[in-house]
């Protein structure tokens, strides 16, 4: 039904973009064999089989030739064509009759144009009339042809060397426009690299790139484009354990080459950088994804390309193609997340630790009555027992009851569910003689693993190319529209202890100890305050938090062929995205009740409420508006003999405006428009805390502008089809803040050379018929927009604590600020054996980031301790290997792809030596260390447990020490032990696909190697403060002398010294190897077409099953940890069932 809802809009778009040509679709299939019979006999047989009668002028029965043919499962038209081939008559189907006419001999003149797929005019194409007349013509320089034929012979055959021949029906008075497809080579597939500016044949280019074609792209089932390319290409790493605040990117292409600037690859959709969330684009609309890796491939994107480029190409229709309708749907079910994955403490152990802390006096202050902050139930029971309010026997009963509760059972029941993702997509593509179109619509609905969280997306997409003047002018328009709604009602339960009951036996929600003590809540405010209890299940029920998003982009481009080999293109794209989050916190929600209570004023029994008793609405809006304009000249010509030159050059503007708005309404009731003004200025006394504070103020209104002006050129020269030279240059300028006009720009360039050795005369290796060497070098760029050449201050959005404005200086004047530059040297080898049975590529590269933005230390006396400037350098070394085999064993076809990527980054220059050692241990900081990867894992020397006390021991000044504070704060960086990189330097996959008849089976094994991670353990103070549910390592803790021989887990102590935990947490004993091999997914498919089932009403159906996140096959760590999910919960297994129908 969701699809039906979409039918309206898609038809509307269809009407707007395109008049669809109507084609008839005969449906009955006939099998008929005739040998030397009269035409009349044949028509009688056809009449018997189909019921079609026939009539015509009388002489047809005499003057016809005898016919012989054999048609198996043919349409009526096919059978009749066979009958009338060479006859002096033609036929016409009128209702259910066959009318026979004398064949008119009237001549017609057919005029038309022939192009390549890249819309370049093709000269020298042979145009042949099929049939008796046998007329032929050759296309001119501009691809034009005129041919004389007659009505009966209206089939034209177009052929040219290296191109697939194409047959077409001609009509008088209408230009015939034909696009010829390049022949797929014997040795290696023709892979087209779309770089956003031009299309290149990969064989004939120098750059390093990868193309994920439609079939590979569609192999995975996911609603987000990026998930489709995870684990299937070289050098692209999806980072799983991203630490907030460390400027990590979810995707890296060929490692890392910046520190503080933008770390994300550029994503290009429809020729221009895409500014919205990539999940707004429906994967069903994607034709291919091109990954540009080295300087020659990516330098065309200049200052945006330092982190690599992903070019996403959308599907298009084809000229002269009957409308093809296709429908896909998939349903993906996922398991509930495994809450037992993290080995946390049992409730019994947890309470034992609480009891230990209680006996040591750890809760004396919170219990002293000075503070009203809530304490865990067990601590309250211990306290009541001590105070004599509870007998020891009752206390023991209560404690034992609590020890029996495991809140994960109820959490799993009430907060989690199996996921269900549904996808529906309908698209139609085709084209007439002058136009081609692709239209699609999609609906996605993802029921999250968290109860009450949901995502719905509707996408519409259409593009249409129209040859305004064949051979001269072409207009392309496109529209992409996406709207989604995200429900974020479940933020998980917020419980500080593991033995909470969320509901009673009847499912009634229960309050937990949270915020303030129950004893205080029950008496405070003499009935004037709102209920101050926190009930997790009611929070879940009452949450009303949604994000609505609308995103669209409009493309218009004009292509004008000035003369053969020279053309001009103009592009314009408008993009806009708007996401509005509405978090309505009704009076039932804890946050609202808590705030109202907190600001309630009691003036001698007179209660006033500075925050009105009503709901709170938090609205957050983020929007962007992008305008892109590009003008480009393309030139291609033969130079000298046997040389081919391709040059493009152009200019582009990019204007990106961003908006960031936040507003809070107090006293807001949903469904009404009113809210109530509050006094944000007065310092109110907080109820229960007696400190003064203002009512929280969140409103914000920030506008951002990014503007770029770029000029670029790119040239390729191929000589004798075997020597390739390429060069590119680009100049980018931006509105970098405060930079002097003459320093705003950066010149970037690349050069490359390629040599197809296998085409040389001296080449003898017959078993390796294709061998190519590539070498490229050049510069990509990157911008850090947060720095400025002037003394720049940030306006603190909430002002100061006196209600006045406030500003912070973010950087001092830096007149020598410039763009980051990344030099990439790449040497590569492409090869394939006969019939492409074995093929692949090997690349070695060096990426060196220069003038990277980094911090330099300043004498604190100048007023700032650090200075952000172009002072850092980094180097990446890497190897990419791609090997594939295609085995054709008759019925069985087996394809196998092995991917291997190695990339090691190293900071080569960094001015600031950060100390003490703890800064390198805190994973939330970027702490570059010269000679090490940017993201490295460091640890502290471990000298075992103290045999007397079970205290952990480390090294201080090379002697065994328990002075944890000094160890952790040591300024001597040689006290750090480097454990390894935090992200895998070696990764890849091994993908196999086996096809037998119409059955297909494919599975992907991925691996990550050579990195380490820090695992969790028991940190007592975190348990004490309720910040952590602890860890079962507690069971293995040191308890008696001698235990230190068998365990590394420190003894349980109550010490206000946070450094004891801190030391253990950062010691070498908790570092694990991250290496693992994972069975990522398995796909199983079955294709049905008319060769399998002749009465299939449509042309093709593909049925498939897809299982994802299947599990780890091997891991180096023995703790059972999934290195991709060290602190969270691994992605649950999912199973998809899908159907794809082509009509």
Partner 1 sequence: MKPSFCIRELLLLLVMGVLAGSCHKHDFLDKPPSTDLVVPSTLNDFQNLLDNDQIMGLVPALGEISADNYYLAYEFWQSLGARVHNAYIWTPDIFGGEGNVEDWNFPYQQVYYANVVLDGMDNIKTSSSTMADWNSVKGQALFTRAFAFYNIAQVFAPVYDETTAAADTGILLRLHQDVSSRSIISTVKQTYNQITGDLRTASGLLPSMVSMTYVNRASRPAAQALLARVYLSMRKYDSARLYADSVLLSNSSLLDYNSLKLTVPTPVGKQNVEILYQASFVNYVDKQILMGYSYPDCFIDTTLIHSYDTNDLRLPIYYYSIGVDSFNLKGSYAGSVIPFGGLALDEVYLTRAECKVRAGFITEGLQDLNDLLSKRWKTGTFTPYAAASQAQALDTVLLERRKELAFRGLRWTDIRRLNKEGANIIPSRSLNGTVYTLAPNSYLYTLPIPPDVQQLSGIKRERH
**Least distance (Å) from partner 1 to the CB of residue 478?**
19
Which of helix, strand or coil describes residue 498? Answer: coil
Q: Which stretch binds partner 1 (CB under 8 A): 232-240, 302-310, 500-508, 1053-1061?
A: 1053-1061
Give the integer Cα–Cα distance in Å for 265 and 239: 13
Question: What tokens were used for 1138?
Answer: 């899908």
Q: Does 958 bind partner 1 (CB under 8 A)?
A: no
Binding to partner 1 (CB under 8 A) within 606-645 occurs at 629, 631
The residue written with tokens 């049992």 in the block is 346
Strand (E) or helix (H) holding 395 = helix 392-403
User: Distances from the Cα of 697 to the Cαs of 444, 594, 681, in angstroms?
Assistant: 37, 16, 10
Q: Does 570 bind partner 1 (CB under 8 A)?
A: yes
Question: What tokens were used for 139?
Answer: 């296309």
Q: Does 1113 bind partner 1 (CB under 8 A)?
A: no
Q: Which stretch binds partner 1 (CB under 8 A): 232-240, 735-743, 892-900, 1006-1014?
A: 735-743
Adjacent-strand bridge partners of 617: 584, 665
Give the integer Cα–Cα distance in Å for 290 and 312: 6
Among 26, 418, 803, 1041, binds partner 1 (CB under 8 A): 803
Give the integer Cα–Cα distance in Å for 812 and 736: 15
Give the integer Cα–Cα distance in Å for 434 and 318: 10
**Least distance (Å) from partner 1 to the CB of residue 169?**
25
Q: What is the contact mask toward partner 1 in residues 534 to 553, using x (rule: CB under 8 A)?
A: --------------------
Which of helix, strand or coil describes residue 300? Answer: helix
**Least distance (Å) from partner 1 to the CB of residue 925?**
13
Pairing of strands 97-102, 53-56: parallel
Which of helix, strand or coil describes residue 918? Answer: helix
Q: Does 804 bind partner 1 (CB under 8 A)?
A: yes
**Least distance (Å) from partner 1 to the CB of residue 911?**
11
Q: Does 1079 bind partner 1 (CB under 8 A)?
A: no
Which of helix, strand or coil describes residue 379? Answer: helix
Question: What tokens were used for 627?
Answer: 């305008």
> ω into residue 766 within 30 of 0, thus cis?
no
Question: What tokens were used for 286?
Answer: 């994607």
Among 916, 944, 947, 1132, binds partner 1 (CB under 8 A): 916
Angle between the 347-359 and 392-403 helix axes, to the nearest 10 degrees?
140
Which CB, 484 or 792, lies closer to partner 1? 792
User: With contacts defined by CB under 8 A, how many residues of the chain interact with partner 1?
Assistant: 81
Among 801, 922, 1025, 1094, binds partner 1 (CB under 8 A): 801
Q: Does 1027 bind partner 1 (CB under 8 A)?
A: no
Q: Does 651 bind partner 1 (CB under 8 A)?
A: yes
Question: What tokens were used for 354?
Answer: 């609480």
- The alpha carbon of residue 546 and the mean position of all alpha carbons in its chain are separated, in whole angstroms, by 22
Binding to partner 1 (CB under 8 A) within 818-837 occurs at none
Among 55, 640, 689, 999, binds partner 1 (CB under 8 A): 689
Which CB, 11 or 365, lies closer to partner 1? 365
First to last CA, the chain: 19
Q: Does 757 bind partner 1 (CB under 8 A)?
A: no
**Least distance (Å) from partner 1 to the CB of residue 5?**
40
Q: Does 9 bind partner 1 (CB under 8 A)?
A: no
Which CB, 827 or 864, lies closer to partner 1? 864
Do 600 and 653 meet the contact criterion of CB atoms below 8 Å apart? Answer: no
Q: Does 751 bind partner 1 (CB under 8 A)?
A: no
Q: Does 853 bind partner 1 (CB under 8 A)?
A: no
User: Distances from the Cα of 560 to the Cαs of 144, 434, 633, 653, in angstroms?
Assistant: 16, 15, 10, 20
Do 512 and 537 meet the contact criterion of CB atoms below 8 Å apart? Answer: no
Among 105, 508, 690, 959, binds partner 1 (CB under 8 A): 690
Question: What tokens were used for 726?
Answer: 């390429």
Q: Does 796 bind partner 1 (CB under 8 A)?
A: yes
**Least distance (Å) from partner 1 to the CB of residue 610?**
17
Among 23, 370, 762, 767, binds partner 1 (CB under 8 A): 370
Q: Does 806 bind partner 1 (CB under 8 A)?
A: yes
Q: What is the contact mask toward partner 1 in residues 305 to 344, using x (rule: CB under 8 A)?
A: ----------------------------------------
Among 568, 977, 986, 1001, binds partner 1 (CB under 8 A): 568
Give the integer Cα–Cα distance in Å for 436 and 318: 5
Q: Does 719 bind partner 1 (CB under 8 A)?
A: no
Which CB, 325 or 864, lies closer to partner 1? 864
Q: Does 173 bind partner 1 (CB under 8 A)?
A: no
Q: Does 696 bind partner 1 (CB under 8 A)?
A: no
**Least distance (Å) from partner 1 to the CB of residue 793?**
5
Q: What is the dihedral of CA 22, 25, 26, 29, to 10 degrees?
A: 160
Q: Which residues does 173 contact at the CB level (< 8 Å), separation at least 6?
A: none
**In this structure, what are the phi and psi dihedrals at residue 1061, rounded to the nearest 5 degrees?**
-60, -45
**Least distance (Å) from partner 1 to the CB of residue 447?**
38
The residue written with tokens 């390429």 in the block is 726
**Least distance (Å) from partner 1 to the CB of residue 622?**
14
User: Distances from the Cα of 308 to the Cαs of 290, 730, 1052, 1063, in angstroms?
Assistant: 11, 16, 50, 39
Q: Does 242 bind partner 1 (CB under 8 A)?
A: no
Adjacent-strand bridge partners of 223: none
Among 365, 401, 491, 930, binds partner 1 (CB under 8 A): 365
Which CB, 721 or 971, lies closer to partner 1? 971
**Least distance (Å) from partner 1 to the CB of residue 734?**
7
The residue written with tokens 């509307």 in the block is 12
Q: Does 107 bind partner 1 (CB under 8 A)?
A: no
Give the integer Cα–Cα distance in Å for 300 and 731: 10
**Least distance (Å) from partner 1 to the CB of residue 822?**
22
Return the closest-CA partner of residue 338 out of 244, 418, 240: 418
Give the integer Cα–Cα distance in Å for 182 and 117: 8
Instruction: Give long-range contacts, CB 8 A cutoff, 24+ apart: 75-79.
Output: 75/26, 75/27, 75/28, 75/29, 75/30, 76/26, 76/28, 76/30, 76/46, 76/50, 76/52, 77/26, 79/30, 79/32, 79/46
What are the helix (H) ranges across 979-1129?
Answer: 1020-1024, 1058-1065
Among 51, 388, 863, 890, binds partner 1 (CB under 8 A): 863
Binding to partner 1 (CB under 8 A) within 666-685 occurs at 683
Q: Which stretch binds partner 1 (CB under 8 A): 19-27, 124-132, 700-708, 1032-1040?
A: 700-708
Q: Does 111 bind partner 1 (CB under 8 A)?
A: no
Q: Does 1056 bind partner 1 (CB under 8 A)?
A: yes
Pairing of strands 954-956, 959-961: antiparallel
Which CB, 97 or 807, lies closer to partner 1? 807
Among 707, 904, 941, 1090, binds partner 1 (CB under 8 A): 707
Q: Does 165 bind partner 1 (CB under 8 A)?
A: no
Among 412, 743, 969, 1022, binds partner 1 (CB under 8 A): 969
Binding to partner 1 (CB under 8 A) within 452-481 occurs at 468-469, 472-473
Among 397, 494, 523, 704, binds partner 1 (CB under 8 A): 704
Binding to partner 1 (CB under 8 A) within 760-789 occurs at 785, 788
Q: Does 558 bind partner 1 (CB under 8 A)?
A: yes
Q: 52: which DSSP letter?
A: -
Q: Does 1045 bind partner 1 (CB under 8 A)?
A: no
Q: Does 698 bind partner 1 (CB under 8 A)?
A: no
Please spell the DSSP secondary structure of 1111-1131, one letter per residue: EEEEES-SS---TT-SSS-PP
**In this structure, what are the phi and psi dihedrals at residue 399, rounded to the nearest 5 degrees?**
-65, -40
The residue written with tokens 């802390």 in the block is 357
């Amino acid at each position: 039904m969701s699809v039906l809802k979409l039918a309206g809009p898609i038809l509307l778009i269809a009407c707007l973009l395109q008049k669809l040509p109507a084609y008839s679709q005969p449906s009955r299939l006939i099998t008929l064999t005739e040998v030397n019979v009269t035409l009349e006999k044949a028509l009688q047989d056809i009449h018997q089989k189909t019921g079609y009668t026939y009539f015509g002028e009388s002489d047809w029965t005499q003057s016809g030739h005898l016919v012989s043919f054999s048609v198996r499962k043919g349409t009526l038209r096919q059978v009749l064509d066979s009958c009338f081939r060479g006859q002096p008559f033609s036929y016409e189907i009128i209702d259910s009759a066959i009318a026979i006419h004398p064949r008119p001999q009237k001549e017609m003149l057919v005029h038309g144009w022939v192009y390549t797929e890249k819309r370049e005019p093709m000269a020298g194409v042979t145009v042949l009339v099929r049939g008796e007349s046998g007329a032929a013509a050759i296309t001119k320089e501009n691809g034009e042809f005129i041919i004389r034929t007659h009505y009966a012979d209206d089939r034209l055959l177009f052929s040219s060397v290296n191109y697939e021949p194409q047959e077409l029906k001609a009509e008088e008075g209408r230009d015939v426009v034909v696009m010829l497809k390049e022949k797929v080579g014997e040795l290696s597939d023709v892979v087209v690299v779309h770089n956003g500016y031009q299309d290149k044949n990969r064989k004939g280019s120098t750059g390093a790139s990868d193309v994920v074609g439609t079939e590979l792209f569609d192999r995975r089932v996911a609603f987000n484009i990026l998930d489709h390319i995870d684990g299937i290409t070289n050098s692209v790493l999806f980072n799983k354990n991203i630490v907030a605040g460390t400027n990590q990117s979810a995707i890296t292409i060929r490692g890392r080459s910046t520190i503080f600037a933008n770390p994300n690859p550029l994503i290009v959709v429809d020729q221009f950088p895409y500014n919205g969330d990539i999940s707004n684009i429906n994967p069903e609309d994607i034709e291919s994804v091109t990954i540009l890796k080295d300087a020659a491939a990516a330098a065309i994107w200049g200052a945006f390309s330092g982190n690599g480029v992903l070019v996403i190409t959308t599907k298009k229709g084809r000229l002269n193609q009957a409308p093809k309708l296709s429908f896909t749907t998939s349903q993906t079910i996922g398991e509930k997340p495994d809450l037992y994955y993290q080995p946390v403490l049992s409730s019994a152990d947890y309470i034992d630790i609480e009891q230990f802390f209680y006996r040591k006096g750890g809760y004396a202050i919170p219990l002293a009555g000075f503070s009203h902050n809530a304490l865990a139930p067990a601590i309250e029971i211990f306290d009541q027992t001590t105070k004599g309010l509870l007998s020891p026997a009752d206390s023991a009963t209560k404690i034992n009851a609590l020890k029996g509760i495991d809140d994960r059972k109820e959490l799993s029941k009430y907060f989690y569910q199996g996921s269900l993702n549904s996808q529906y997509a309908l698209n139609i593509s085709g084209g007439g003689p002058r136009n081609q179109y692709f239209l699609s619509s999609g609906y996605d609905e993802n029921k999250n693993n968290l109860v009450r969280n949901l995502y719905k997306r509707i996408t519409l997409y259409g593009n249409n190319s129209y040859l305004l003047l064949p051979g001269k002018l072409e207009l392309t328009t496109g529209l992409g529209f996406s709207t989604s709604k995200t429900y974020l009602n479940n933020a998980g339960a917020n419980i500080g202890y593991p033995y909470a009951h969320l509901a009673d036996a009847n499912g009634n929600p229960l309050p937990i100890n949270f915020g303030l003590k129950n004893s205080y809540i029950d008496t405070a405010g003499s009935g004037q305050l709102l209920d101050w209890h926190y009930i997790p299940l009611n929070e879940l029920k009452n949450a009303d938090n949604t994000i609505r998003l609308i995103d669209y982009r409009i493309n218009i481009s004009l292509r004008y062929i000035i003369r053969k080999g020279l053309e001009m293109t103009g592009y314009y794209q408008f993009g806009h995205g708007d996401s509005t989050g509405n978090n309505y916190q009704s009076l039932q929600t804890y946050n609202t009740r808590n705030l109202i209570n907190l600001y309630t004023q009691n003036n001698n029994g007179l209660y006033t409420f500075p925050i009105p008793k009503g709901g709170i609405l938090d609205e957050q809006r983020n929007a962007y508006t992008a305008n892109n304009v590009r003008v480009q000249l393309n030139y291609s010509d033969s130079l000298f003999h046997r040389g081919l030159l391709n040059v493009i050059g152009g200019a582009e503007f990019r204007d990106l405006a961003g908006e960031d708005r936040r507003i809070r309404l107090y006293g807001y009731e949903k469904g009404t428009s009113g809210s109530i003004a509050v006094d944000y200025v007065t310092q109110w006394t907080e109820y229960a805390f007696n400190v003064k504070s203002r009512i929280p103020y969140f409103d914000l209104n920030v506008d951002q502008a990014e503007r770029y002006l770029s000029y670029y050129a790119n040239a390729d020269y191929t000589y004798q089809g075997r020597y390739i030279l390429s060069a590119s240059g680009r100049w980018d300028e931006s509105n970098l803040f405060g930079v002097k006009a003459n320093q705003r720009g950066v010149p970037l360039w690349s050069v490359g050379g390629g040599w197809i050795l296998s085409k040389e005369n001296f080449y003898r290796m017959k078993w390796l018929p294709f061998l190519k060497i590539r070498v490229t070098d050049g510069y990509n760029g990157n911008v850090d927009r947060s720095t400025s050449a002037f003394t720049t201050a940030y306006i603190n959005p909430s002002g100061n604590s006196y209600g006045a404005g406030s500003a912070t200086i973010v950087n001092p004047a830096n007149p020598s600020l410039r763009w980051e530059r990344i030099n990439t040297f790449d040497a590569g080898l492409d090869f394939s054996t006969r019939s492409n049975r074995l093929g692949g590529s090997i690349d070695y590269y060096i990426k060196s980031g220069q003038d990277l933005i980094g911090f330099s230390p300043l004498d604190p006396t100048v007023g700032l301790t650090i200075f952000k400037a172009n002072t850092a350098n980094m180097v990446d070394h890497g190897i990419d290997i791609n090997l594939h085999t295609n085995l054709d064993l008759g019925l069985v076809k087996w394809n196998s792809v092995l991917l291997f990527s190695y990339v090691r980054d190293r900071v080569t220059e960094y001015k600031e030596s950060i100390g003490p050692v703890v800064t390198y241990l805190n994973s939330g900081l970027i702490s570059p260390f010269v000679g090490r990867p940017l993201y490295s894992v460091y640890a502290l020397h471990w000298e075992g447990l103290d045999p007397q006390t079970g205290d952990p021991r480390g090294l201080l000044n090379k002697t065994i020490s328990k002075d944890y504070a000094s160890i952790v704060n040591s300024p001597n960086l040689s006290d750090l032990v480097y454990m390894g990189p935090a992200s895998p330097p070696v990764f890849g996959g091994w993908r196999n696909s086996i096809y037998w008849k119409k059955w297909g089976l494919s599975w992907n094994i991925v691996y990550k190697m050579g990195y380490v991670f820090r695992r969790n353990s028991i940190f007592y103070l975190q348990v004490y403060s309720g910040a952590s549910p602890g860890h079962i390592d507690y069971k293995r803790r040191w308890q008696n002398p001698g235990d230190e021989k068998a365990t590394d887990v420190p003894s349980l102590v109550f010490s206000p010294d946070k450094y004891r935990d801190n030391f253990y947490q950062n010691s070498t004993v908790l570092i694990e190897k991250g290496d693992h091999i994972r069975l990522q997914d398995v796909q199983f498919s079955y294709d049905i077409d008319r060769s399998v089932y002749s009465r299939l009403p449509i042309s093709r159906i593909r049925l498939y099953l897809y299982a994802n996140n299947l599990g780890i096959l091997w891991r180096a760590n023995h703790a059972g940890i999934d290195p991709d999910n060290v602190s969270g919960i691994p992605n649950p297994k999912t199973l998809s069932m899908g159907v794809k129908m082509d009509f």
